[in-house]
Structure 1
């Protein structure tokens, strides 16, 4: 069991809204010093679980501990420990970006000098210092996401709960987000990220919990995900030579023609097996023009699960 001191432990949690059971039975652990990904299709209960961990909803069943506190009976302690980033900013649009941060800082009981200093630091950290005195309403979707992250960090929390933090970000901002979240985890914080961008999570997360239909269905580390059977796509010139070589070595493949060029998909158990196959093809004088995993490690797990994907 994870150390409660700075992490999150959820056991057997359920939550309904009238006749709709949003969360049926979820177990979830996020240790301090790591980024934990929460993965599942729309409607699987991810946001409801995040709201319960943030003390904004109470579970009907089960128990939750966030940084050692119970969100139901100790909401004040949980909220002082948690930085919550919803999937939309929901800010006062007439306030400037700096005023949004200093106002939230005041709500957390920070002194004026501390919240002013912290707002300046965070605007620079999320690369919004040039927009600090602009009304929040003029910010783009991506800029609002960066402001929302800064708002979650204003009181220097030990736990971060981030719902779709990369939504609306351009590629450069996604790289910056990845670097920031990794550095926050390296400081010993607990970071939970819910996202649909599985390729991004491969680069950010240390572990993942998969949910479907309100239930947790699998938990794994990134090392475990990387060691599983994976799909690889291969292209060659000509493809007939590749097909003959694969057949001669008993490697089953599937032709996929829905991309711009024909490619073959193969299932390989380990990176050593992938290395063997590539070496074998080259030694057979097959002109290989592309050889790579068909998806990220977490995507492979997600696609292999018997879930309702939409």
Structure 2
């Protein structure tokens, strides 16, 4: 990308949205550092009540986007709205409804867990009695009741991440903005953190999570935005991202008694466009012309060949595959 000068601050025209009002609307945002564009006309939306993944390589613009959404940075061009409010004009109102968890723990390491949470609850203006109740609730939600009097410096990375999440929850935010929350966690701590996030989503909170752990985002998120080199490559439902695009539908057939002749016999079936065996396993990727045969007829024809079918489903991409297809190689 060639170096570009920062665009002067000016609003971009808003876009009309249909259906339920999204929690976050990023509209044509540009932001540059020393002539290099970190965000290049970025637009995406975060649906209400969703767990939205924000994915991209290092230097793609994820942290800059997060800082703008949580009012820590002003966009040089474009409009960002949270709960319908402009993050520049109504930053104090927006901050009351969001909770931001950065990718590193803060410097309050000589406080106990309770003292740390009490400090931030007081910063939100909660009276003492309310703070005590709030802290007990967030400790229970993050399964940290037994660590309330422990020094933060003595906690493991996973426990510190839980404390950070508990801190985000003390003001009962409607939107959680989490920057690499599972970074550096062991597998068990990562799984437990993801379970907490699922519980928060079930409580009606909208969660915006930036992460490189693509496989977990595929299981966790219902919508995703992929950003690369400051530009949005995809934004929408995970199911739409993983669906294979093309003229013909594709299905994956798993057989119980693989034989060398199955490939040729499958290719000879009506409507079949191509057949590819998957990594020498008893699996075949079948592309067929839906104008010549239906899914039911295709499966019936396969069974009529005498093939023992143990699996037959639409062939979807893995999130890793989709990510590599949409992003570019090279140092950023």
Q: TM-score range by the shorter chain?
A: 0.7 to 0.9
Q: Which residue of 1 aligns with 2:231?
A: 215
Is the 2:243–2:316 contact (alpha carbons within 8 Å) kept by the matching residues of 1? no
User: SS at the partner of 2:110?
Assistant: coil
Partner of 1:137: 153
Structure whose CA Rg is larger? 2
Q: Relative to structure 1, is the Cα distance of residues 281 and 70 closer, same or farther in structure 2, using a 3 angstrom cutoff? A: same
Deviations 1:125-181 (A, max 9, x none): 111222222222232222222222211111011221112233325264155134223
1:47 match: 63
Say whether residues 1:14 and 2:30 are aligned partners: yes
Distance 1:178 1:288, change over 3 A: farther
User: Pairwise mapping of residues 158-237 of structure 1 onto structure 2 (< 5 A)?
Assistant: 158-167=174-183, 168=185, 170=188, 172-184=191-203, 187=204, 189-222=205-238, 224-225=240-241, 228-229=244-245, 236=255, 237=257
> Are 2:282 and 1:252 aligned?
no
Change over 3 Å in CA distance of 1:150–1:246 after alignment to 2:
farther
SS of the residue 1:240 aligns to: coil
Q: Count residues with an aligned counterpart.
A: 303
Q: Residues of 1 paired with 2:43 and 2:274: CA distance?
A: 38
Structure 2 portions without partners, runs of 5+: 1-16
Q: Would you say 1:285 and 2:306 are equivalent positions?
A: yes
Structure 2 vs 1, CA of residues 292 and 3 (structure 1 numbering), >3 Å: closer, same or farther? Answer: closer
1:107 pairs with one of 111, 119, 123: 123
So what's the TM-score if we normalise by structure 2?
Answer: 0.76
Structure 1 unaligned runs (5+)? none
Higher helix share: 1
- Change in Cα spacing, 1:41 to 1:100, as seen in structure 2 (3 Å) is same
The question of whether the paired residues in 2 share the 8 Å contact of 1:4 and 1:68 is answered with no
Structure 1 residues 130 and 78 mapped into 2: Cα distance closer, same or farther (>3 Å)?
A: same
Say which SS state the counterpart of residue 252 (structure 1) adopts: strand
Deviates more, 1:214-223 or 1:168-177: 168-177
Match of 2:86 among 70, 77, 93: 70
Q: CA deviation at 1:17?
A: 1.9
Q: Measure, in 2, the Cα distance between the counterparts of 1:139 and 1:269.
A: 55
In structure 2, the CA distance between the partners of 1:138 and 1:265, relative to structure 1 (3 Å rule), is farther
Residues 112 and 268 of structure 1: CA distance in aligned 2, closer, same or farther (over 3 Å): farther
CA displacement at 1:25 relative to structure 2: 1.4
2:285 is aligned with 1:266: yes
Whether the 8 Å CA contact 2:224–2:235 is kept in 1: the answer is yes
Question: Which residue is equivalent to 2:132?
Answer: 116
